[in-house]
């Protein structure tokens, strides 16, 4: 899988993308992770990515022409200089020469909530492009001309889309075959079955008066499986009853 990230803070991703399983997957050729500086696709010597909003109001708005220039260059693997110009391309210009634009996600508070089911859907894509906004927001025309998806990681507001993009990257790439060593791991976790995950225990057998449930040391694999299912259902009823009341939510909601 290939993932491109567009951001005005490319250095932000130096840590998250160069450690642990992501770095190993990249080195093994399972993932192709590329981070692009949005300012490289600006058209003025000050590398301006934002402007005051039409109609007035607080804050600055990210310019749609910069986003369109950047997206079209990244989609087509073109260097920034080939797309920079005095104005954004016309609205009816083809998104990608010879084909459709890849799945392009704009991280936004109004987006579709990121769920495990949605992550599985995205993990099936050969390529994702993630767009990290900042400031008051992004010109609506970038939503229309660039994004195929608007994605939220929760009902709260962040400084920008970088944290949300990192969440999407981890959630999606761990579902790519080969990224996790144990192929059963993703299927056993919270939300994969519609339930929270069951409790886990390991050594030591006792800790300050707290022991391990006897069933887990019984050697009875059937009993262990039943215990884990019961505990998962119990935890879900107590902490997330909404998961039992409704199927996976694909509708619009809060922030990324």
The answer on 217 and 140 residing in a single domain is no
Is 180 inside any structural domain?
A: no
156 is in an annotated binding site: yes
Are 45 and 121 found together in one domain?
A: yes
Range(s) of the domain holding residue 215: 197-239
The reported pLDDT for the residue numbered 187 is: 56
pLDDT at position 251: 39
27 with 114, same domain: the answer is yes
Model confidence pLDDT, tens digit, residues 89-101: 555 555 565 567 9
Residue 158 gets which letter from DSSP? Answer: -
- Structure confidence at residue 15 (pLDDT): 80
Residue 154 is labelled as binding a ligand:
yes
Q: Is 62:135 a contact under the CB 8 Å cutoff?
A: yes
133 is in an annotated binding site: yes
Kindly state whether residue 244 falls inside one of the protein's structural domains.
Answer: no
Extract the residue ranges of the chain whose pLDDT is less than 70: 81-99, 182-192, 246-256
N- to C-terminal Cα separation, the chain = 22
Number of domains in the chain: 2
Is residue 139 within 8 Å of 101, Cβ to Cβ? no
Name residue 107's beta-bridge partners. 151
Determine whether the annotation assigns residue 155 to a binding site.
yes
Annotated ligand binding at 138? The verdict is no
What pLDDT is attached to residue 185?
56
Same domain? 84 vs 207: no
Domain end call among 139, 173, 207 = 173
Position 83 scores a pLDDT of: 53
Domain presence at residue 225? yes
CATH of the domain at 64: 3.40.1280.10
């Amino acid at each position: 899988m290939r993932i491109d990230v567009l951001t005005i803070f490319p250095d932000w991703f130096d840590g998250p993308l160069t450690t642990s399983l992501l770095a190993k997957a990249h080195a093994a050729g399972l993932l192709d992770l590329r981070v692009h500086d949005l300012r490289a696709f600006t058209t003025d010597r000050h590398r301006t990515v934002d402007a005051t909003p039409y109609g007035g109001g607080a804050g600055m708005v990210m310019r749609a022409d910069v986003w369109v220039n950047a997206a079209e260059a990244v989609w087509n693997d073109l260097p920034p200089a080939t797309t920079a110009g005095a104005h954004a391309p016309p609205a009816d210009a083809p998104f990608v020469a010879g084909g459709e634009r890849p799945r392009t996600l704009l991280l936004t508070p109004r987006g579709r909530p990121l769920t495990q089911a949605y992550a599985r859907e995205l993990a099936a894509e050969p390529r994702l492009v993630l767009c990290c906004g900042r400031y008051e927001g992004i010109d609506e025309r970038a939503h229309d001309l660039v994004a195929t998806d608007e994605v939220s990681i929760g009902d709260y507001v962040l400084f920008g889309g970088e944290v949300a993009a990192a969440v999407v990257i981890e959630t999606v790439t761990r579902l790519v075959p080969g990224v996790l060593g144990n192929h059963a791991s993703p299927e056993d976790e919270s939300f994969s079955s519609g339930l929270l995950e069951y409790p886990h225990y390991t050594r030591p057998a006792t800790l300050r008066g707290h022991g391990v449930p006897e069933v887990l040391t019984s050697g009875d694999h059937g009993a262990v499986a039943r215990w884990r299912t019961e505990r998962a259902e119990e935890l879900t009823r107590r902490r997330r009853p909404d998961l039992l009341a409704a199927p996976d939510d694909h509708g619009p909601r809060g922030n990324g």
